[in-house]
């Protein structure tokens, strides 16, 4: 619990929210400013600002909830699809510094875009660049 965190305040019951799912570790509630009907946020109950701050078990619990909830949210609003994503850090658009996965129902011809639309200009990378990047990421993740 972090006193000045709005999502911790929701977990504590100090700020109201339209809860749609709850386990010991995870809470999901409707986004107050939805991008689509049924737009749902899935959060770990304990405070973690960024994905890298999540303990492995908690990361698994959050994704389990996302996997469980996504089809149910879609069904509830009769959506055709869903976009699921996390803004991880300010540069990615994260405004609330408590990890949350967005489950956004999507509809045929809703005028939206795929997740590929969120990044800026595409980098110009050749095959050698891609090899080097893959090596560098593999080295970083094998530590
Ligand atoms: P972010 O930009 O951090 O990924 O998204 C934060 C999300 O939290 C936004 O979609 C915003 O509408 C939602 N949000 C911010 N404050 C509250 C709140 O007090 N209650 C609820 N239910 N959603 C909130
Ligand atoms: Zn918090």
Q: Hey, which of 96, 99, 102 would you mutate to test ligand 1's pocket, going by the most ligand atoms within 8 Å of its Cβ?
A: 96
Give mean pLDDT, residues 94-114.
Answer: 97
> How far is the C-alpha of 65 from the C-alpha of 70, rounded, in Å?
8
pTM for this entry: 0.96
Write out pLDDT tens, residues 60-100.
999 999 999 999 999 999 999 999 999 999 999 999 999 99
Q: How many domains does the chain have?
A: 1
Residues contacting 21, CB < 8 A, separation 6+ = 27, 28, 40, 42, 65, 68, 69
Which ligand 1 atom minimizes the distance to the CA of 96?
3
CB neighbours of residue 69 within 10 Å:
21
Respond yes or no: is residue 98 known to be catalytic: no
Question: Does the residue 126 lie in any domain?
Answer: yes
Question: Does the residue 1 lie in any domain?
Answer: no
Question: What's residue 143's pLDDT?
Answer: 60
Q: Which of these, 121, 118, 61, 126, lies nearest to 91 by C-alpha position?
A: 118
CATH code, 124: 3.30.428.10
Answer whether 17 contacts ligand 1 (Cβ < 6 A): yes
Which ligand 1 atom minimizes the distance to the CA of 35?
10
Write out pLDDT tens, residues 41-64.
999 999 999 999 999 999 999 999
Q: Range of 114's domain? A: 6-139
> How far is the C-alpha of 26 from the C-alpha of 65, rounded, in Å?
7
Q: Whose CA is nearest to atom 20 of ligand 1?
A: 32
């Amino acid at each position: 619990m972090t006193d000045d965190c709005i999502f911790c305040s929701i977990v504590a019951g100090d700020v109201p929210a339209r809860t749609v799912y709850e386990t010991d570790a995870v809470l999901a509630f409707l986004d107050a400013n939805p991008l689509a009907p049924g737009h749902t946020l899935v959060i770990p109950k304990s405070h973690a600002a960024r994905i890298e701050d999540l303990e492995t078990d908690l990361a698994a619990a959050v994704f389990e909830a996302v996997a469980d909830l996504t089809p149910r949210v879609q069904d509830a609003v009769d959506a055709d699809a869903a976009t699921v994503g996390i803004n991880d850090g300010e540069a990615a658009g994260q405004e609330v510094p408590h990890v949350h996965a967005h489950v956004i129902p999507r509809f045929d011809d809703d005028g939206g875009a795929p997740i590929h639309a969120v990044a800026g200009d595409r980098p110009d990378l050749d095959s050698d660049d891609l090899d080097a990047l893959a090596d560098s990421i593999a080295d970083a993740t094998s530590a």
